[in-house]
Structure 1
Amino acid sequence: MSKPLLTHDLRSMFGDVRDQGLRPTCLAFAVSDCHAALRAGWDPLSAEFVFYHAQRRAGLPPTEGALLLHILDALRDDGQPPEAVWPYLPALPADISHWGPPAVSTRYFRGSARGPGSFDEIVDNLINGLPTVIVLHMGEAFYDPQSGIVAGYPGEKDVTRHAVIAVGAGTVGGQRAVLVRNSWGMSWGLNGYAWVTEKYISQRLRRIAVLKEEVGVSAHQNAA
């Protein structure tokens, strides 16, 4: 394929790509980094905190992946502190009863919108300066983007559900594509980013989400 042509690029809103390791926390990272990107400056927010509250809401153990609805509800109602308050754990404690947040004095809350989405809607969001969480069925090609491009191949098998952030739009080899930010560290793709073609996304897209207005602490106090 020819060199990608980038027409919209929101990467400047973000800091370094983070690494979720072997835990099923891609959605917590995607939403956390979108949240941090919408705030002034780059100060990572605690993916551990929002994942913890999402799993409590869903009644799911921390060994399973989160659901988009519960992550967004946790962001709106439980909020997130800075990453330094509860840093991400590469591995869970042997005794899960010891897994829980410390006392938190500062939390940030934010509303959101979610839906089945489409490639066109993702691009429109990017044009309007809104990074977009994408939940899709991830195929085998996603593990190793060739030249930083995920295009898929005949007979490719879907492996699992995965969440990334759309941060750019353009074309690859004459095909429309979006640039996504993953949570597998800087060694994946192009320093943690890769192009994903319209065909690949359209065949595998499950849901999208964008973060909206910031919700003040007073709103939660009034509702209490």
Structure 2
Amino acid sequence: MGWIPDLPDPRDYTYRHPEILPLLRQLKPPNRQQLADELDLRKGEAGELFLTEVDDQGPLNSSAAFATLSLVEYFERRMYGRTFEGSRRFLYKVARNLRIKSSRITGDTGTDLRTTLKAIRQFGIPDEAYCPYDIDQFDHEPGPFAYQVARSLRHYRYFRIESDWGAEQDSSSRWEVITSFLSAGFPMVFGFSVPSSLSTAADITFRPELDAIGGGQCALAVGYKLNYYGRSQHALLIRSSWGTSWGTDGYGWLPHSYVQHQLAADFWTMLQEDWINAGELSCPSVLANGDECQ
């Protein structure tokens, strides 16, 4: 578990922020105005894998670090053809430090996605080999060497999948924005309320009248399927950090009712300028429908 929902902050960049929207507009036009019935970002058209095997966070509340580093891994592999296995323990610790603004904070508190994304820009991330994921060491401050060898990720710009800060969005428009960014090649980290009925099955249930909330979990949205559970009952394809024994090799389906009822929230993704002309990403259709793409 470990998702702490973001508190409202008017400083957040959204996809319509003046530093983000012009970059999105420069991406190639979408292939189609109508979204496909299903989408899976785990593989490219030639079958190349954009994500490695799903890892297991174990008993720690470190899901924000796992989800965020999966997002980085996706873009590193898709845009540059290289694998970067960043240190989950390092990110979980520095994000907690940053959130409380004190290196003296201890405890397996979990963290929010905003702070976790901010931490990778501020501190960078060392390779897993320099700060391995040892659950017994999770509260140990990384040594100076880990900070020294951390790869700089300041070029990554992170932003919320919302039209504008504080703007009211109904559930259908929220779903439209999420699926349009997925269709454009952008996976996204987010958090959701975990039902007490969660099992190892790939299908997460939505039974609000029966289930209690068992905690909060961060995950990576990597696709969707329309009408997965029946007519107008769509689902997000998500990458967990519960290891390959959960779901289908660590992947599962989250009903879009979670998005509708705001039990899934805090959707974030990334962009940088040198991706504009790579031809891998496209302008999200939610912008194309308003003639805002190039």
Q: TM-score scaled to structure 1, two decimals?
A: 0.83
Amino acid at match of 1:105: V
Cα 1:62–1:73 change in 2 (3 A) is farther
- Which segments of 5 or more consecutive residues in structure 1 lack a partner in the other structure? 216-224
Which runs of 4 or more aligned residues in structure 1 lie more than 6 Å from their structure 2 counterparts after TM superposition? none
User: Which residue of the other structure, out of 59, 68, 73, is the alignment partner of 1:36?
Assistant: 73
Aligned counterparts, 1:183-222, within 5 A: 183-203=241-261, 204-213=263-272
Residue in 1 that maps onto 2:90: 49
Report the alpha carbon displacement of residue 206 of structure 1 after superposing the two structures with TM: 2.7
Aligned-residue sequence identity (percent) comes to 25
May I ask how many residue pairs the two structures share in their alignment?
206
Aligned counterparts, 1:177-188, within 5 A: 177-188=235-246
Offset from partner CA, 1:37-79 (integer Å, 9 cap, x none): 1103333211112222111111243410012221111111111
Answer yes or no: is the 8 Å Cα contact 2:195–2:205 preserved in 1. Answer: no
Answer yes or no: is the 8 Å Cα contact 2:190–2:219 preserved in 1. Answer: yes
Structure number, greater radius of gyration: 2
Residue in 1 that maps onto 2:220: 165
Higher relative contact order (CA closer than 8 Å, sequence separation 6+) = 2
Residue in 1 that maps onto 2:131: 86
Cα 1:214–1:16 change in 2 (3 A) is farther
Aligned counterparts, 1:1-224, within 5 A: 7-12=38-43, 13-39=50-76, 40-59=81-100, 60-92=105-137, 96=139, 98-101=140-143, 103=145, 104-109=148-153, 110-114=156-160, 118-141=174-197, 143-144=198-199, 146=201, 148-153=202-207, 154-171=209-226, 172-174=228-230, 175-203=233-261, 204-213=263-272
Which has the higher mean CA deviation after the structures are superposed, 64-73 or 175-184?
A: 64-73
Cα 1:17–1:6 change in 2 (3 A) is farther
- In structure 2, how many angstroms separate the alpha carbons of the residues matched to 1:106 and 1:137? 32
Report the alpha carbon displacement of residue 214 of structure 1 after superposing the two structures with TM: 7.6
Q: TM-score scaled to structure 2, two decimals?
A: 0.64
- In structure 1, how many angstroms separate the alpha carbons of the residues matched to 2:66 and 2:95? 12
Amino acid at match of 1:61: T
Answer yes or no: is the 8 Å Cα contact 2:87–2:126 preserved in 1. Answer: yes
Amino acid at match of 1:75: I
Offset from partner CA, 1:79-106 (integer Å, 9 cap, x none): 112222211122236xx5x432451324
Answer yes or no: is the 8 Å Cα contact 1:34–1:131 preserved in 2. Answer: yes
- In structure 1, how many angstroms separate the alpha carbons of the residues matched to 2:73 and 2:119? 15
Answer yes or no: is the 8 Å Cα contact 1:116–1:206 preserved in 2. Answer: no
Indicate the SS of the match to 1:187. coil
Cα 1:126–1:133 change in 2 (3 A) is same
Indicate the SS of the match to 2:135. coil
- In structure 2, how many angstroms separate the alpha carbons of the residues matched to 1:77 and 1:67? 16
Answer yes or no: is the 8 Å Cα contact 2:58–2:242 preserved in 1. Answer: yes
- In structure 2, how many angstroms separate the alpha carbons of the residues matched to 1:101 and 1:138? 34
- Which segments of 5 or more consecutive residues in structure 2 lack a partner in the other structure? 1-35, 44-49, 164-173, 275-294
